[in-house]
Structure 1
C-alpha cells in the first residue's frame, strides 16, 4: 500500500489517542540523507481553548535555531505531511497504551507496527521560552 494511504490510517490512531487522552508524543525520525533538520517532535498542550500540540523542529547545526509552534492537531498534520519520504522515513507515535511506528520502505510502501508503550503517563509540553 502506498505510504500516503497508510499514513492516513496511522494518523487516525494519533487522533484516537488524543480523543482518549492517551497521546504522549509523536516523533519524526530516521532522516533521509544528511539534512540539517534532525527531528520533528509533537507534544500535547492542553489550553483553555482545548487541545493543541507543540510542534518542534530540531536542527543539527547550532547556527540554526530550533522552531516551536503551538498548533491544532489538523494543522500539525498539514505541516508534517511534506516531510514524509523527503526528509523522514519513520514516524513514532507514543501513547500510554502502545507505541505505533509508521515506516516508509525504499519502494514507497508504508507499514504500521505496534509495540509496548514507552510512556505510562501524558506529560504536557511547555514552550522553551516559558
Structure 2
C-alpha cells in the first residue's frame, strides 16, 4: 500500500538525515496520537553498532517499551506507516531549530520550525562524527 504521506515525510526525513550528517541532531520524537492508543510515542536516537551509525527506535506503549535497531535508510520504511496511524506529529530537535511535521484535521501536512529546545547535539552522534575524522 502506498502511503499518502511518503513524499512529505521523505522531505522531513531528509532534514533529519542532514542534522545527523552535520552534527546538529538532538532528538526525534513521534507524538500526539489519534485517540487513546496503546502506542504512546516513538523516540529515535542514534547508536553506534559495529562502527556504523544506526538508529534505535524506542516504541513506548502504555505498559511496556520495545526497542528496534535499523540503519538510517531502513528506519524510514519502519517509521512511515505510523504517520496518521496513530501519530499526527513528529518533532525533530536540532541545535539550530526544532522542526515539527504536523497533520491537521483534514490530514494536510504542515511543517513549522521554531527556536531550538536543545543547546547540545546528541552525544553518541558527536562521538561518532569525531571518530570519523
> Normalization by structure 2: what TM-score?
0.83
Structure 1: distance between partners of 2:21 and 2:29: 19
> How much does 1:118 deviate?
1.2
Residue 44, structure 1, aligned to residue 53, structure 2: no
Q: Gaps spanning 5+ residues in structure 1: where?
A: 126-130
- Greater relative contact order (CA < 8 Å, ≥ 6 in sequence): 1
> How much does 1:3 deviate?
4.0
- What residue number does 2:90 align with? 91
Moved over 4 A (4+): none
> How much does 1:5 deviate?
2.6
Does the CA-based 8 Å contact 1:40-1:55 persist in structure 2?
Answer: yes
- What residue number does 2:113 align with? 114
Structure 1: distance between partners of 2:50 and 2:118: 25
Superposed, 1:1-130 pairs within 5 Å as: 3-60=5-62, 62=63, 65-121=64-120, 122-124=122-124
Structure 2: distance between partners of 1:44 and 1:29: 18
Structure 2: distance between partners of 1:48 and 1:95: 25
Does the CA-based 8 Å contact 1:42-1:55 persist in structure 2?
Answer: yes
> How much does 1:123 deviate?
3.0
Report how many aligned residue pairs link the two structures.
121
Structure 2: distance between partners of 1:115 and 1:124: 24
> Normalization by structure 1: what TM-score?
0.85
Structure 1: distance between partners of 2:52 and 2:25: 14
RMSD value over aligned CA atoms? 1.7
